[in-house]
Chains A and B, each alone.
Chain A
């Protein structure tokens, strides 16, 4: 993949296309934590691709490409989020996913895990688990205090854990 980044930096459009194929699923997952509408997700992913293509020369090291494009995506998502003044889904309207005791983890999907979290928690926990960001990296990306990040991760994990009524964990 690093070779592909080097080629894309030199202007190879096919190489850039391959990079997008590689990251698009994660871009979608992250955008979904911030934006509720599929149209909004499509728009920000499109804008991210265009912005990344224009400025790919700014990627300092090829191995940093994914984190770099995620940074662009998160900023685009935040712009859309603020612009549309998206309302947070009230927690009492969130359907409880888990009804009874034991839960088979392997059958759960991301949406199941995130349903009881607010938008900030969704984004932070996704970056933490999906992309292995450290709390320091998340705090720099989102420009919030590192302790705040740690608190939100902890709270989100606690909410996920508590979602399993009498559950395994």
Chain B
């Protein structure tokens, strides 16, 4: 970097005066952002293509899954428990091909191959109110495997996958264009479940590739009691490195695949077991809801937290008003954010989100927090100092007793909250 570059860089780094209109627009946009405990419309992604699998239904219950190794990263032991209890639909149908001409391309090498004949099927579905897991098995043709051997396939993703049901609900869909296509124009947000995703390849290095898609609803959503699922996508994105960022995959297979799956009665006639807090007045913490599902239990908690006086914004405004010189304003704001006081405040605020929670049933069995279906540690602290958060546990209906105890350690205090099964089940 020569002197010219350094001078150019200095000019780029200079602070500029942002208009009042711009600042006001940014402030209002942030102020109007919803609290994260409420439903938030679906995320946009950088995904591009779609693939559809056409697939005939033929689901039977798995009779013997003892030899299967399931790695439900992100969904916890509860799903495994459910599957061990027979709560899984195994599809033994044949593979299906793309319904339109298929193309393989590698942006890195510039290679493009037509008519690559990739076959796909969907199997091993688990579904309840919170979790939807499916394994999408992709049988890549030899033409593709010559370009990228199975041993080099690190991740496989379906960027524009839409999973929908017979009522037109979208259980999973991230790509905005795919969603618009599905709805024939404007996206009907009421029909879209906000779903998170953990996906991975089961047994890397083998072909066909088994891409496990563990989808889960977020916030206060529940999956509907669907009887049929449709999996539709037009792109398979492959990465050959663990450093590839989603959306930056250079190896793709484009086509049109669609799979229809009938779900077993056990899935759509599922019931949850709900509980209530026994004596609300005895605890400063409140259980807003508690329910046990087939693959786990979820509690909505309100914990009595603290109100931290955060004057950062106030100070920032004072700096802006008092300094017409944007360079000084920028300098002072940076000082505020890097100051020891702000660092300390950040640390104190971080601690307000720390908690330990677990459940015991009447048999003395202990059930820990699980990574899913709802990300733990989430939630927000409102202006009254109440920390509203949701937690998921690996407790399933198999271990549901009439009484449960929720153990909470928060801000150095241990609390036991008694829960009782609701009488109407």
Contact = CB atoms under 8 A, between A and B. Distances in A.
Interface of A: 1, 3-4, 6-7, 10-18, 20-22, 24-25, 28-29, 38, 41-42, 45-46, 49-51, 53-55, 57-58, 75, 105-106, 108-110, 112-113, 126, 129-130, 140, 157, 160-161, 169
Interface of B: 3-5, 7-16, 18-19, 21-23, 25-26, 29-30, 33, 35-37, 40-41, 43-44, 46, 196, 245, 248, 310, 312-313, 316, 330, 333, 337, 343, 346-347, 349-350, 353, 375, 377-381
Given A11-B36, A21-B333, A28-B18, 6 more contacts: A18-B312, A25-B330, A45-B29, A49-B33, A50-B33, A157-B5
Contacts of A75: 46
A3 B347 contact: yes
A158 to B, nearest CB: 11
Contact of A129 (B12, B46, B196, B245): B12
B26 A45 contact: yes
29 contacts: A3-B350, A4-B337, A10-B377, A11-B380, A12-B349, A12-B353, A13-B35, A14-B313, A16-B30, A18-B312, A18-B313, A20-B26, A21-B333, A22-B337, A25-B18, A38-B19, A38-B21, A45-B26, A51-B44, A53-B33, A57-B196, A105-B10, A109-B11, A113-B11, A126-B12, A129-B5, A129-B13, A161-B4, A169-B7
A45 B353 contact: no
B36 A49 contact: no
Contact of A140 (B9, B248, B353): B248
A169 B4 contact: yes
Nearest to A68: B245
A160 B8 CA distance: 9
Contacts of B330: 25
A136 to B, nearest CB: 11
Given A6-B350, A11-B379, A169-B4, A25 B16 contact: yes
Q: Which of B4, B12, B43, B379 is most buried by chain A, counting CB atoms within 10 A of its CB?
A: B12
B370 to A, nearest CB: 17
A17 B30 contact: yes
A103 to B, nearest CB: 10
Contact of A130 (B4, B13, B346): B13
Contacts of A112: 11
Nearest to B27: A17
A7 B46 contact: no
B11 to A, nearest CB: 5
Contact of B8 (A38, A49, A140, A157): A157
B43 A54 contact: yes
Contact of A14 (B19, B21, B26, B310): B310
Given A18-B312, A20-B30, A50-B29, A105 B11 contact: yes
Contacts of A169: 3-4, 7
A109 B14 contact: yes
Nearest to A76: B44
A105 B30 CA distance: 36
Contact of A24 (B3, B26, B40, B379): B26
Given A3-B343, A54-B40, A129-B8, A15 B248 contact: no
A129 to B, nearest CB: 4
A16 B7 CA distance: 33
A7 B353 contact: yes
Contact of A29 (B16, B316, B377, B380): B16
A168 B12 CA distance: 19
A140 B243 CA distance: 13
Contact of B12 (A4, A53, A58, A130): A130
Contacts of A130: 9, 12-13
B349 A15 contact: yes
A28 B16 contact: yes
A169 B3 CA distance: 9
B22 A45 contact: yes
Nearest to A24: B26
Contacts of A7: 346, 349-350, 353
Given A10-B353, A54-B41, A110-B12, A105 B312 contact: no
A83 to B, nearest CB: 13
B33 A10 contact: no
